[in-house]
Homo-oligomer: A and B are copies of this chain.
Amino acid sequence: MAEAEAEARGRRARGGGGAARRAERTAVSIETARYIERNIPNFEVLTEEALEIIEANADTILEEVGVNFVDNPAALERWRNAGADVTGERVRIPRGLARKLCSTAPSRIIQHARNPERTVEIGGKSLVLAPVYGPPFVRDMEGGRRYATMDDFRKFVKLGYMSKWLHHSGGTVCEPTDVPVNKRHLDMLHAHMTLSDKPFMGSVTEPSRAQDSVDMCGILFGKDFVQDNTVMTSLINVNSPMTFDDVMMGSLEVYAQNNQACILSPFIVGGAMAPVSVMGTLTQVLAEALAGIAYSQLVRPGAPMIMGAFVTSIDMNSGAPTFGTPEAAHITYGAGQLARRLGLPFRSSGSFNGSKMPDAQAAYETSNSLNVGLLAGVNFMLHACGWLEGGLVSSFEKFVMDADQLGTLHHIARGIEIDENAQAMDAIREVGPGGHYLGCAHTQANFKNAFWRSDLFDYKPFETWSEEGERDTMVLANARVKKLLGDYQQPPLDPAITEALEAFVATRKESMPDAFS
């Protein structure tokens, strides 16, 4: 009962005198469930034979074809010293070397939040849920689709903070296009650090911005703490197929040197950046993950890394990427198995969908991805809520719709209790044939925690729903967005830290001219 524990700890932490009790009575509930610890098996589709084929083929690819490390002489030097065959920017890695290098990466990562109750563990049976990442547009019911701004960004951070089933504040919850490209990371990090107390991600768009992220964490957590502990999990995409560019690798180097976690994610649109088959895609994903994670260990052995897989298929009629598809499910299940055999935490994507609005298509595709992620043994689910239109849009309504559905993952992951109370033999004896259980002692004792219920969906009778204006899920979600933003209260932070963060942001902004591309 991870949630119940978290709730109990929350109560203890808030305890104290009369003022505290009064505050507790009036305070807005911002309960956050503890990260998921699965008490259910993983679903595995690949046989031992298939796994061995993929692993052998990935080694063949690394040895024969190799990978490119672009504009990065230091990386080539590191690879040469490690025993790889480097020709130009092409790095060919002898069989087994990449896997051996990966073995120094830890199998579990503790990512600290500034509120220790929100610290997460990434690895093993855990599942940490983080919101949408990267869209340049936002959408809501009133405003439609428009370029995202820093104001939108702050709203998403607040919604994430207010979402019970979301463990992580994420990173680029939308691209604040009204802030210069070279400065927006400062505002984004500042928002995550001050508007939420959940863990977050750092910037990866320039090595210097990764360094800014580390420096700001030094202010928030203390410099020594940051060197000894992981306080960021940042997203490093591979330019699939098999290309590692200097920007992403430069950021990875900064994070690895500072003991901060990265997700190394092959970025796959099947049929375009990887073969059109599941086995071929898994082979390439594994080869890329092995090369990238091995490289992180060349930078600093023991650097915390997560094996990622951003996977969609392509609609061969139109060339559009498609989401929540069977092939993405196969790849995610398979990649989870491969990551576990590597002994590394695994990342997938959650609310994937290609719809233009938070309608039934969006929900079918999202639900497919969420369920696959849970059963695939994913440890870090990015885009767990809010994603729309193939990642072009962060949707306010969909954010709270998906965030509500994340509750189902928590409850499925609990598994099935089998103790005497759960067996309910006394209840069955008490009620007997033809009776009903609504009033029986067992139901009275257990109903409060027995069933998950949505905080968003309509469970009312038709007549009530009709009288209330026949609201669909999007309309209900729109109201919930407003309620959550209205109820939002900023989590307390030491004023000296707030001041120091603001001073850092101001100084860094002054040090650079604005850049918009």
CB within 8 Å of B: which residues of A? 40-41, 43-47, 49-50, 53, 57, 60-61, 64-68, 90, 145, 239, 241-243, 270-280, 283-284, 313-320, 322, 324-327, 329-330, 334, 354-368, 371-372, 375, 389, 392, 401, 405, 408, 410-412, 414-418, 421-425, 427-429, 431-438, 442-443, 446-448, 450-454, 456-462, 465-466, 470, 472-474, 477
Contact = CB atoms under 8 A, between A and B. Distances in A.
Contact of A423 (B41, B283, B448): B283
Contacts of A365: 457
Given A66-B433, A322-B453, A358-B360, 12 more contacts: A43-B43, A46-B416, A243-B434, A270-B450, A272-B437, A319-B438, A327-B411, A354-B459, A357-B472, A360-B360, A360-B473, A361-B456
A422 B389 contact: no
Nearest to A362: B360
B276 A329 contact: no
A442 B243 contact: no
27 contacts: A50-B418, A53-B423, A241-B436, A272-B436, A276-B442, A277-B421, A277-B450, A279-B416, A279-B422, A279-B423, A280-B442, A314-B451, A315-B453, A319-B438, A322-B454, A322-B459, A324-B408, A325-B452, A325-B453, A326-B414, A327-B411, A354-B459, A357-B470, A357-B472, A359-B359, A361-B458, A362-B363
Nearest to A401: B360
Given A408-B326, A459-B315, A65 B422 contact: no
B241 A433 contact: yes
Contacts of A284: 428
Contacts of A456: 361
Contacts of A45: 40-41, 415-416
Contacts of A477: 360
Given A418-B53, A473-B359, A354 B457 contact: yes
A41 B43 contact: yes
Contacts of A40: 45
A392 B462 CA distance: 10
A453 B44 CA distance: 24
Contact of A412 (B277, B317, B326, B359): B326
Nearest to A445: B276
A174 to B, nearest CB: 16
A253 B50 CA distance: 49
**A243, A408, A442 — most chain B CB neighbours (10 Å):** A408
A446 B279 contact: no
Contacts of A327: 411, 450-452
Contact of A453 (B43, B317, B410): B317
Nearest to A421: B277
B438 A359 contact: no
Given A272-B437, A355-B458, A326 B41 contact: no
B67 A433 contact: yes
Contacts of A326: 408, 410-412, 414, 452
Contacts of A448: 316
